[in-house]
Amino acid sequence: MSELGHDRASSVAQISRRGFLGATAAATAALALSGCSPTDSENTLELGETGSLEEGEWVALPCNCGVCCNIGYVVDNMVVRQKTDDTGEDTDENPQNRCCVRGRMSRQRYMGADRLKYPMKRKNWQPGGVDFHGELRGRDEWERISWDEALDLVAGEVKRIMDNHGPKSFFCGVSGDGHGGGAAGGQVTRLLNAMGGCVYVWGTQSYGGIPVVSTFMEGDPWSYGMMETQDVFTACKADTAIIFGLAAGSLANSWYRAMKHAGVRFIVIDPWFSGQTEQVADMWVPVRPGTDGALLLGMAYHMIENNLHDQEFLDAYTVGFDADHMPEDATTNENFKDYVLGAYDETPKTPEWASEICGVSPDKIRELAEIATSASPLIWRSTQAPARTENGQNYTQLFYAVGWMTGNVGFEGAEVAMANPQSVGMGSSMILPGSPGIEIVTNPICEGPAEVSMLDKGGYDPEKFYGLPYGGAWEAIVSGKYTDFVHGEQPIDIRCIWKINSCSPLNQFSGASKGIEAFRKVEFVVTSDLFMTSDCEYSDIVLPAASFWETPWSNAGQVMPLNPRALFFGGKQVIEPLFEAKDDVWMEEELAKRLDIDPKLIRNISWEQASYNVLATTQVMKDDFSGMEPLAAITQEDIDEFGVEGTPQEGRVPIKELLEQGYYAAQRSPDDPYAITPKRADYRNDPVANPRNTPSGKYEIYSQSLTNYMEIYGTTPVVEPLPKYRPADEGYEQTFANWETKEKGEYPFQVISTHSARSVHSSFHNVRQLNEVHANNLMINANDAAALGLEQDETVLVTSKHGKILRRVNITPRIMPGVLMIGEGNWINLNEEGIDEGGSANILAGGHVVGHGHQPWNTCLVKVEKWDGEPLLPDCQRPYRTFDFE
Ligand SMILES: Nc1nc2c(c(=O)[nH]1)N[C@H]1C(S)=C(S)[C@@H](COP(=O)(O)OP(=O)(O)OC[C@H]3O[C@@H](n4cnc5c(=O)[nH]c(N)nc54)[C@H](O)[C@@H]3O)O[C@H]1N2
Ligand SMILES: Nc1nc2c(c(=O)[nH]1)N[C@H]1C(S)=C(S)[C@@H](COP(=O)(O)OP(=O)(O)OC[C@H]3O[C@@H](n4cnc5c(=O)[nH]c(N)nc54)[C@H](O)[C@@H]3O)O[C@H]1N2
Ligand SMILES: [Mo]
């Protein structure tokens, strides 16, 4: 029997339906009796049956972010315990690849009693495009239907809508990341593509205003995550790291720990004092959201005034800093130095000027400027969050300009780089993951989906259709119009929203209030998911998806090179699908059969073959660091046993051992011959022989090509060639009715939404243990709370121009005055008054298209009021979304 496939070795326990269903019934009964206290027993199906460590076996669990090691003890088709990397010593050089709190809660998530169990249909929806009662989406009741009924209904609607309205009437708001994990893997609309295509989204979500600005100023769409910019051992050679926005990531932790032990000083510039900041920071500098640009200018002023900046570096490697170094293509004669000094607007960008905007004291701004220009090597880094603001492109311009003024480019321990060290670790060269060999069915009408920026330099083709921008998709669906770059306003007529894949666009795109209108407008919405998420609640047909523990796909689909020295691929299929859950590709195959589409177009090779291909083509660094070699050693007997096609090969580890282990880690030592040459060392060493990919071949502080290119997007205002501070439309300046007298306006608070330790976006939101430990309350500064007369845990109504939410408050000094923080990802839960009791940041955030299509989540203004209605339950006591017919 195949170890890779559904026919797993007999040592893996088979599902015990009876035991399983019994546990569910007990769990449901317990819920009904006790309300909902946050105990494991109510939501974890197998509780009480953890048993001894004799009846089952330890199996490597695929963990979808691919960064750490997750192992489960499987008994009778249940993961009853979890552990993580407990091998070797946990050192700075070779840290154990320990699982984060979310990974460790996977058992509670995947085996929760609130898993979707059966296909369901919304009661008042009827196929045919007439009696669909869209207004009841989010309010209707549900009925259980069979898989045959569900697939017939979906196939019928697809055929009807495709025949009558064509592929441009289907919208698939895939995020492109697939963070939820899952069988859908990289491509998610094979069926629609085989039938003529559908409408995708374009723009950036993770990277905010970074990619296009970076392309033109730096010569690369982004300057890479930390492990790509340099090696952990060279990062430890830095004197100081100045970090704008410190993420709650997990992988970065081991780097930060090594850097702390090496004595690197950390300065964190962030409105919020996060747990991560608490761990690493030597200095915390709170800054108002979206005003980092002003802070940067204040620093630049102090550098110029005191001649602290690296003029030699600027002269040799950049254009646009001063009048003597302007690029040839400049259409204005403005340069950065004179802008800072106030030559063009009679406003010298003094630390005092900056302080009024960004909230950092003038002395602190001067101190930062002095540290940035005296500490060497310096890590000058920003995560994406400060660029996920309305003026995120202006911020990106200023970040590079002032970073380059310090000259920290291209030598060990130095960097001027943007992006989250955790989330961007593109292709570490210790390990090169293999390819599953799955054929993609391209979308014949629409380019994308595009997470980064499909309009990479020169990539824009006016003849092509790119779909709807993330931030403007809902407005386009509601209004029937969208802006198509150089073509201007165009009609669009979406009839079906399609989500048979692992993302949550309604919950996760900005402007969710508009999103609900869009969902309620169309004729048909189909979603597949593991849980009754908000996207499901606003659908007509809901299909229960198998988690990636329940398919052998995990080997093939979840290999992500996010960890620079280890690779995690999961091993064997962990358990059989729970209840009636099916993987997304099976769903599309079954639909294809009903629609006379060749199922081979949906799945060109078996899961087993795809999984085998990944392992067979993965390359790893040789022991002596002299080059790469295949990871898996494969014999003809292995190939015969797995029933796949392949050729025997030599490799480092026998393939069966890899499957048992589920991961492979390379070992490092500070004196090994492998250290990534610092990024841009070639440019530093010989800028003539190794020019940057910009019109001048240098770093462009003044970038005419950036402005020219931005005009294509059709968004306003177009960024200027010179880095300048521009207040955001819903930024700090707009919290005032009168800036001069500092009289506050209707929406006096700024709110940011961060990626919290509690969840991966909306995933894990339903895990009570996580909600209990990291309650996603509204963080409010103690002074602000006192002014509003608020008590700890009190419920407040938060109102923006775009929507209203209820939240309990967490009164804390960890957020700066005037700023509120709420973790992103809460499941929307609108009540009858249209107020979101779920506390979604996207109900507050407006959906509008800015820059190159990024979503300005961290630019949002609100007011806060005491709530005199029913107080909110803590999130960990909220009822599970389960159904009577279960
Ligand atoms: N306010 C605000 N909003 C944000 C952000 C922010 O900073 N602030 N950040 C944004 C960013 S950077 C990103 S990348 C996006 C991410 O947003 P998404 O990529 O949409 O991620 P998730 O919300 O985790 O959605 C994943 C969904 O897939 C489901 N799932 C898991 N496995 C499977 C499977 O096998 N099959 C199926 N069918 N479903 C499965 C999960 O249960 C979950 O509902 O969010 C964005 N939204
Ligand atoms: N636990 C966990 N980790 C994740 C994710 C997750 O959902 N959960 N998502 C992953 C994904 S897809 C992505 S894109 C990345 C996102 O990673 P980041 O882009 O780093 O995003 P955040 O964690 O939202 O924000 C990082 C910090 O920036 C701060 N910040 C917000 N606005 C501003 C501002 O205007 N100026 C300054 N200086 N700071 C600001 C926040 O307070 C926060 O402390 O995280 C990845 N890692
Ligand atoms: Mo992201």
State pLDDT tens for residues 193-205.
999 999 988 888 8
Q: Tell me, yes or no, whether 617 lies in a domain.
A: no
pLDDT, tens digit, for every residue of 650-686?
Answer: 999 999 998 888 778 878 888 888 777 788 999 999 9
Nearest protein Cα to ligand 1, atom 31: 180
Best-predicted range by mean pLDDT among 30-34, 70-74, 587-591? 587-591
The C-alpha atoms of residue 322 and residue 336 are separated, in whole angstroms, by: 6
Mark whether 288 and 316 lie in a shared domain. Answer: yes
State the burial class of residue 29 (Cβ atoms within 10 Å of its Cβ: 0-12, 13-18, 19+).
exposed
Mark whether 401 and 305 lie in a shared domain. Answer: yes
CA of 824 to the centre of ligand 2 (A): 10
Query: Which two three-digit tokens encode residue 861?
Result: 């203004």
pLDDT, tens digit, for every residue of 473-498?
Answer: 999 999 999 988 888 899 999 999 99
Mark whether 60 and 78 lie in a shared domain. Answer: yes
Nearest protein Cα to ligand 2, atom 14: 206
CA of 505 to the centre of ligand 1 (A): 7
CA of 279 to the centre of ligand 3 (A): 23
What's the pLDDT band for 48 if we cut at 50, 70, 90? very low
- The residue out of 427, 453, 473 marking a domain boundary is 427
pLDDT recorded at residue 129: 97
What's the pLDDT band for 563 if we cut at 50, 70, 90? low
What's the pLDDT band for 176 if we cut at 50, 70, 90? very low
* Ligand sitting nearest the alpha carbon of 281: 2
**Run of H or E residues at 501:** none
> What is the CATH classification number for the domain harbouring 459?
3.40.50.740
CA of 222 to the centre of ligand 2 (A): 16
**Run of H or E residues at 131:** none
Nearest protein Cα to ligand 2, atom 24: 754
pLDDT, tens digit, for every residue of 314-346?
Answer: 999 999 999 999 999 999 999 999 999 999 999
pLDDT at 34 over 90: no
pLDDT recorded at residue 528: 94
- The residue out of 55, 87, 110 marking a domain boundary is 110
What's the pLDDT band for 31 if we cut at 50, 70, 90? very low
Which of 487, 439, 477, 387 minimizes the C-alpha distance to 173?
Answer: 477
* Ligand sitting nearest the alpha carbon of 423: 2
Q: Determine whether the shortest distance from the Cβ of 206 to ligand 2 is under 6 A.
A: yes
Q: Tell me, yes or no, whether 382 lies in a domain.
A: yes
* Ligand sitting nearest the alpha carbon of 754: 2
Contact between residue 224 and residue 679 where contact means Cβ atoms under 8 Å apart: yes
Mark whether 217 and 364 lie in a shared domain. Answer: yes
Which of 578, 553, 555 minimizes the C-alpha distance to 631?
Answer: 555
pLDDT, tens digit, for every residue of 253-290?
Answer: 778 888 999 999 999 999 999 988 999 999 999 999 99
pLDDT at 558 over 60: no
Q: Determine whether the shortest distance from the Cβ of 818 to ligand 2 is under 6 A.
A: no
Nearest protein Cα to ligand 1, atom 16: 761
Q: Which of 61, 422, 504, 828 to mutate to test the pocket of ligand 1 (most atoms within 8 A of CB)?
A: 504
Q: Tell me, yes or no, whether 619 lies in a domain.
A: no
Q: Tell me, yes or no, whether 712 lies in a domain.
A: no
Average pLDDT score over residue span 374-394: 95
pLDDT, tens digit, for every residue of 421-479?
Answer: 544 333 356 777 788 887 778 889 988 655 555 555 557 788 889 899 888 999 999 99
Mark whether 508 and 381 lie in a shared domain. Answer: no
What's the pLDDT band for 24 if we cut at 50, 70, 90? very low
Nearest protein Cα to ligand 2, atom 15: 423
Mark whether 122 and 219 lie in a shared domain. Answer: no
CA of 210 to the centre of ligand 3 (A): 13
Mark whether 76 and 24 lie in a shared domain. Answer: yes
The C-alpha atoms of residue 386 and residue 859 are separated, in whole angstroms, by: 9
The C-alpha atoms of residue 467 and residue 480 are separated, in whole angstroms, by: 13
* Ligand sitting nearest the alpha carbon of 503: 1
Mark whether 231 and 128 lie in a shared domain. Answer: no
* Ligand sitting nearest the alpha carbon of 180: 1
What's the pLDDT band for 251 if we cut at 50, 70, 90? low
CA of 206 to the centre of ligand 3 (A): 4
Largest Cα separation within the chain, whole Å, is 81
Nearest protein Cα to ligand 2, atom 29: 245
pLDDT recorded at residue 3: 31
Which of 882, 571, 862, 623 minimizes the C-alpha distance to 745?
Answer: 862
Secondary structure of the chain: what % helix, strand, coil (to 5)?
Answer: 30, 15, 50
CA of 250 to the centre of ligand 2 (A): 12
pLDDT at 568 over 80: no
pLDDT recorded at residue 227: 52
Q: Which residue has the higher pLDDT, 661 or 298?
A: 298
pLDDT at 841 over 60: yes
pLDDT, tens digit, for every residue of 751-765?
Answer: 999 988 888 889 999
Q: Tell me, yes or no, whether 591 lies in a domain.
A: no
Q: Determine whether the shortest distance from the Cβ of 246 to ligand 2 is under 6 A.
A: yes
pLDDT at 819 over 70: yes
pLDDT at 798 over 50: yes
The C-alpha atoms of residue 151 and residue 138 are separated, in whole angstroms, by: 22
**Run of H or E residues at 754:** strand 749-754
What residues does 74 pair with on adjacent strands?
A: 57, 79
- The residue out of 54, 88, 110 marking a domain boundary is 110
Query: Which two three-digit tokens encode residue 474?
Result: 């809902």
Q: Determine whether the shortest distance from the Cβ of 763 to ligand 1 is under 6 A.
A: yes
Mark whether 397 and 276 lie in a shared domain. Answer: yes
> What is the CATH classification number for the domain harbouring 847?
2.40.40.20
Q: Tell me, yes or no, whether 336 lies in a domain.
A: yes
Q: Tell me, yes or no, whether 759 lies in a domain.
A: yes
> What is the CATH classification number for the domain harbouring 303?
3.40.228.10
pLDDT, tens digit, for every residue of 117-158?
Answer: 999 999 999 999 999 999 999 999 999 999 999 999 999 999
Report CA torsion sign: 371, 373, 378, 380.
positive
pLDDT recorded at residue 64: 62
Q: Tell me, yes or no, whether 688 lies in a domain.
A: no
Give the total number of structural domains in the chain: 4
Mark whether 142 and 103 lie in a shared domain. Answer: no
Contact between residue 715 and residue 482 where contact means Cβ atoms under 8 Å apart: no
pLDDT at 38 over 80: no
CA of 508 to the centre of ligand 1 (A): 6
Domain that holds residue 178: 116-200+443-543
pLDDT recorded at residue 179: 39
Mark whether 381 and 249 lie in a shared domain. Answer: yes
Mark whether 383 and 263 lie in a shared domain. Answer: yes
DSSP reduced 3-state for 799: strand
Query: Which two three-digit tokens encode residue 377?
Result: 């090597």
pLDDT recorded at residue 206: 83
| Mean pLDDT for the chain overall | 86
pLDDT recorded at residue 9: 25
Q: Determine whether the shortest distance from the Cβ of 562 to ligand 1 is under 6 A.
A: no
pLDDT at 20 over 70: no
Q: Determine whether the shortest distance from the Cβ of 383 to ligand 1 is under 6 A.
A: no
Ion ligand 3 neighbours (CB, 5 A) are 206
What's the pLDDT band for 186 if we cut at 50, 70, 90? low
